[in-house]
Amino acid sequence: MKALVYHGPGQKSWDEVPDAKILQPSDVIVKMDATTICGTDLHILRGDVPAVTPGRILGHEGVGTITEVGGAVTTLKRGDQVILACISACGKCGFCKEGVYSHCQGEEGAPGIGWIFGHLIDGTQAEYVRVPYAENSVYKLPATVSPEQGVILSDILPTGHEIGVQYGKVKAGDVVAVVGAGPVGLASMTTAKLYGPSRIIAIDLDANRVDEAKKFGATDGIVASDPEWRDKVMAMTDGLGVDVAIEAVGIPQTFQMCLDVVRPAGTVANVGVHGQAVQLPLQDLWISNIAVTMGLVNTDTLGTLLKMVATRQLDPDVFISHRFALDDIMDAYEVFANAAETKALKVVLNAR
């Protein structure tokens, strides 16, 4: 089979690799129908995730059709079309029983982490993928949801919802600022709408993305290169600051921007993947009663979001800016990595 293989920082190729095969009774093999590229894949290629070793197949999102099932699998069968959650969960360990699937203690890859696809085991940017703990880690695709829509549910919608909105404790009437209008930031805006905030402020260096954010639920937009960007945010909040600031980029400057605009007793919800140290100025923050949250998505709300997509309460199609054949994944990476020029949001790769 063919797959996108990581060969060390800055190096990748579309290679012929051994076919995916069943290794454990709880596995299934899925023929990929659609997958995508995530900002985390770009972090891996920059060397920000050293646990990813050369030879690893990248990717942790996708929809596919089951072609083989392990002997212990009883609720799935060949021919089922399924969404692959970006988090794999054994369903039996203490963390899984608490719903903290992101820290599954299963033995795949390494115990204590649920993100294994494209990280600790081979991922979804391939023609076929082995799915461990399949009965706890896939969702059957309803007839009313397309494979492309299902891909958006693999990661960014649950991530924006859980780590941005739920961890940020967004509630009715809140003013929410989202720093970073890339895919996961836009997912935070889209799902924040479900909680009734009074304002959602999109902040980004890219004026086009700030404008596009209005399609995803933003009520206001601010271009971060404006020297008065903070003053404009404060003017929208009677000088107090926002109730919730969501960091959706993953660099020290954007984390600091969130600290600069959050009000006393507000929340900074960090969603971005950080590849370098970030300063936390406790000497200034301790007196402000600010909560700072962070985490790896659990995908425990994927099923709920799937129902909302199936009933058209959420529209994942707006996230898709480019489509490629799976064989053209190298071109897709170029487009996604140069989003400022290409205006890429999510690029979907469809099997021929």
| Residue 32 pLDDT greater than 80, yes or no | yes
Tell me the β-bridge partners of 246: 178, 269
Tell me which residue has tokens 């203690």: 105
- CATH 3.40.50.720: which residues of the chain? 160-294
pLDDT one-digit tens code per residue, 91-126: 999 999 999 999 999 877 778 899 999 999 999 999
If you average pLDDT over residues 64-71, what whole number do you get?
98
- CATH 3.90.180.10: which residues of the chain? 2-155+299-350
CB 177 within 8 A of CB 245: yes
What is the reported pLDDT for 275? Answer: 81
- Other C-beta atoms lying within 10 Å of the C-beta of residue 329: 25
What is the reported pLDDT for 97? Answer: 95
Q: Which of 191, 242, 186 is nearest to 212 (CA)?
A: 186
Q: What is the mean pLDDT of the chain?
A: 96
What is the reported pLDDT for 205? Answer: 95
If you average pLDDT over residues 194-216, what whole number do you get?
95
| Residue 79 pLDDT greater than 90, yes or no | yes
What is the reported pLDDT for 340? Answer: 86
CB 192 within 8 A of CB 170: yes
User: Which CATH code is given to the segment(s) 2-155+299-350?
Assistant: 3.90.180.10
pLDDT one-digit tens code per residue, 256-310: 999 999 999 999 999 998 888 999 999 999 999 999 999 999 999 999 999 999 9
> What is the fold, at CATH topology level, of the domain defined by 160-294?
Rossmann fold (3.40.50)
Tokens linked to 212:
């596009």
If you average pLDDT over residues 19-45, what whole number do you get?
96
Buried b / exposed e across 282-315, counting CB within 10 Å, b at 16+? eeeeeeeebebbebbbbbbbbeebbebbeeeebe
pLDDT one-digit tens code per residue, 130-178: 999 999 999 999 999 999 999 999 999 999 999 999 999 999 999 999 9
- Whether the pTM exceeds 0.85: the reply is yes
| Residue 313 pLDDT greater than 80, yes or no | yes
